[in-house]
Copies of this chain bind each other. A is one copy, B any other.
Amino acid sequence: MRIDAVDFFYASMPDVTLEADGSQDALLVRVSAGGYVGWGECEASPLVSVAAFITPRSHGVCQPVEASVLGEELDGPDDIRRIASLVERNSMDLLQAAHTFSGIEIALWDLLGRAREQPVWQLLGYERAYSKTPYASILFGDTPADTYAHGVAAVARGFNAFKFGWGPFGTGTVAADADHLQAAREAIGSDRHLLVDAGQIFGADVDAAAERLGALEAASVMWLEEPFRASEFDAYAALAARATTVRLAGGEGAHEEAMARNLLKYGHVGFLQIDTGRIGGIAPAKRVADLAAQAGITFVNHTFTSHLALSASLQPFAGLADHRICEYPAEPKQLAVDITSNHLLPDADGEIHVPDAPGLGVEVDLDALAPYLRSIDISVDGETLYSSPQSGRVLLG
């Protein structure tokens, strides 16, 4: 099969607010090859990621992503890895390329699975897919009472694990954070998992983060996520050494496999959270999952958007029985719900199942998406380089 076309679909809510809620917009990618179609999703900043696909080249290793994709042969998983290597080389100096290619790579796996009538997790070498325990991501409230209320509402929805994050955490006093943590624990009861996401609030300030360890451990928090900026490995390691029961989590910012490896090796995290929509897609995420298993730490997906992104992010660790917990977009914007016509819903035990269906096993609903679609037009010297969504990038000749 030859990759004939790559089309982007930029969708957003009518109003995109300053909330830390990544489900307010989406960039979907549709790849066509050999009469088949596959879908993927890029995480973050649709316009910039489209620009990275079609930008005029700057030099030999700063080419647009399309130069390494359109017209390439796609006959098996090795071709996906080969195309990824082309992008890595030809777009070496184009920072955004990793985010752009992530969505394309996911679509290539989906397409290949549909052509072979196999789920992606089988193409990755897994013999079966294990269920996962979803955790609900919740923002801390403005007050401990709000945090408590958020927690109680989430428990009522049947989840068994909860992650509170962002909001005021880390911005005020240690005592205020302790109150929020205690409220969260009280809301969910003593038997359910409690996770905390600090949203990089401490920068690289180990002492500021360490001051919260007592309250975190008193509330039996399983992981503290992203206390620091993504590449502050020294800070991660120093904090990990000062913790007793709580373990550190991170990795969502990894835009290449090596970043995730380095966070594990040098930052001593106990949970590696990988977004397939950023790290370059499913294949590098699978290699990170293999590494996590080998190192005895836990692989977790990072997903805050659609169930297309959710299925893509579950494939890399679908066959790892011991890596059970998974991020599940608990309160996404309606856009993220409407992107697909089917959804990965919790079963009676509250467990999530990776689809046992060709490709990613979720269907993009273009009709439902129509009201959300936004058009992009980019031209250089008056020549149109990109116009969406009606005309994508089609291989000519």
Contact = CB atoms under 8 A, between A and B. Distances in A.
Interface stretch (A48-56, A187-195, A338-346): A48-56
B380 A93 contact: no
Contacts of A99: 95
Contact of A374 (B24, B46, B266, B381): B381
A362 to B, nearest CB: 22
Interface in A249-271: 253, 255-256, 258-259, 261-262, 265-266
Contacts of A231: 256, 258-259, 262
A22 B58 contact: yes
Contacts of A374: 56, 380-381
A98 B230 CA distance: 14
A183 interface: no
A62 interface: yes
Interface stretch (A13-21, A205-213, A217-225, A352-360): A13-21
A331 to B, nearest CB: 14
A41 interface: no
Interface in A328-379: 374-379
A377 B378 contact: yes
B44 A48 contact: no
A297 interface: no
Nearest to A23: B59
A35 interface: no
B16 A56 contact: yes
Q: Give the size category of A's interface with B.
A: 35 or more
A255 B255 CA distance: 12
A24 B96 contact: no
Given A59-B18, A231-B256, A45 B262 contact: no
A59 B24 contact: yes
- Quickly give the copy total for this chain: 2
A149 interface: no
B255 A20 contact: no
B25 A58 contact: yes
Contacts of A60: 17-21
A146 interface: no
A299 interface: no
A394 to B, nearest CB: 20
Nearest to A226: B92
B43 A93 contact: yes
A32 to B, nearest CB: 24
Given A48-B48, A59-B19, A258-B231, A95 B93 contact: no
A382 interface: yes
Contact of A377 (B22, B92, B379): B379
Contacts of A24: 58-59
A185 B147 CA distance: 68
Nearest to A63: B18
B258 A229 contact: yes
A13 to B, nearest CB: 10
25 contacts: A16-B59, A17-B59, A17-B60, A18-B57, A18-B60, A19-B60, A20-B60, A21-B60, A24-B58, A25-B58, A25-B59, A43-B93, A44-B62, A44-B94, A45-B58, A45-B93, A45-B96, A46-B56, A47-B51, A48-B55, A48-B95, A61-B199, A231-B258, A376-B378, A377-B378
Given A44-B58, A95-B96, 6 more contacts: A16-B56, A16-B58, A44-B95, A45-B52, A45-B95, A376-B379
